[in-house]
Structure 1
């Protein structure tokens, strides 16, 4: 969908529609198994990003993961990394099954910027004294909501904007294969601090 120009919210809606009718507990169990297998491979995390996270943790900084993904995929990573403040897209559930919709708006675009400000304020921090790490143009409102913006990898447009605004550019992880190259790849959550 991205390749033909669909916006991030349309892509999210289509992605979450695929959950319709699935049992929440089963999806959570599958996600935990997937995460365990991915981390066991040793290639799940982008080491330079985790190193930055660890430095923030050592300084006692408040860390929040803000993700457009959903709890089944984000929470195992957050637990593994020792991050308690997690905000992500909340899929709608009825009677223990996903409906394919959302509770509220997906946590992308302006909603992610608002979430960054809320996370800072709840922690008693001035958002202007906070940092955010992002890899997609849809994360722009989050990057604009804080005082220090870091682009990790990211597309050409986001990197150009970062250069124009004087934001720090960090190398991203190696490109992941497309679904056409590797069938069955799950949408992985992104780390935002």
Structure 2
């Protein structure tokens, strides 16, 4: 049976949180002042601090794009990636090196993230990943985002997506690997034979003590 390597993106492959980094870029590209981003970020942080489930906070994020042209947003995503990558320290090189090794070994490489295509398509293309699994906000008439999102690819949804891919591609999850940096990645990490914790998330750490677990400790990024 074939093997796969599943990679979370934000905090695992990238040093930046793509959703927020892109939101700031998108608002500026549409002519909003900087405080528009700070207000939006404060609102979303407020949801988390009040105990709103992560999935609902994710849906609130995508409501910020309601009414926007999807093709234009995709174009902004490509411009954002070019600019962000050009500033340096975009990727966590240790995880990218692991990605390259899995790809060279012929394993199916899968990016799996709660972020969405405008952020993730350029990353997928740059890395040459085989499959992208991500949140996909609804697009309505006129190719505009409706603001609705059925299923954020977070937590158990990541594990469900990986299970579906395993059935579709005849993958052995027991012989597969997954990389994640956050407690919300735990359902995916627990699904595979070789789970890899990236970084030092204190919530995730207590769950990563078994012999099957591997650790990846990225070097601290330095300003360029």
Q: TM tier, shorter chain?
A: 0.7 to 0.9
* Structure 2 residue corresponding to 1:45, chosen from 82, 85, 91: 91
Shift of 1:154: 4.7
Deviation sequence 1:128-159 (CA, Å, 0-9, x none):
11110011111111111111111111520101
1:91 maps to 137
2:201 maps to 155
Deviation sequence 1:22-60 (CA, Å, 0-9, x none):
110111111110001111222111000000001111111
1:35 maps to 81
Q: Distance in 1 between matches of 2:51 and 2:212?
A: 27
Contact 1:154 1:172 in 2 (8 A): no
1:131 aligns with 2:131: no
Runs of 4+ in 1 over 6 A off after TM superposition: none
Q: Distance in 2 between matches of 1:3 and 1:170?
A: 29
* TM-score, normalization by structure 1: 0.83
Q: Distance in 2 between matches of 1:33 and 1:124?
A: 36
Q: In the superposition, relative to structure 1, how do residues 44 and 162 fare at CA in structure 2: closer, same or farther (>3 Å)? A: same
Contact 2:193 2:212 in 1 (8 A): no
Instruction: Report how many residues are paired.
Output: 174
Where do 1:60-99 residues align within 5 Å? 60-95=106-141, 96-99=143-146
Q: Distance in 2 between matches of 1:105 and 1:134?
A: 19
Q: In the superposition, relative to structure 1, how do residues 172 and 12 fare at CA in structure 2: closer, same or farther (>3 Å)? A: farther
Which of these two proteins has the greater Rg computed from alpha carbons? 2
* Structure 2 residue corresponding to 1:6, chosen from 43, 47, 52: 52
Q: Distance in 2 between matches of 1:124 and 1:154?
A: 33
What's the secondary structure of 1:150's corresponding residue?
A: strand
Shift of 1:165: 6.9
Shift of 1:8: 1.6
Contact 1:150 1:170 in 2 (8 A): yes
1:111 maps to 157
Unaligned runs of 5+ residues in structure 1 are: 176-193
Unaligned runs of 5+ residues in structure 2 are: 1-44
The Cα RMSD (Å) is 1.8
Q: Distance in 2 between matches of 1:144 and 1:10?
A: 23
Q: In the superposition, relative to structure 1, how do residues 116 and 21 fare at CA in structure 2: closer, same or farther (>3 Å)? A: same
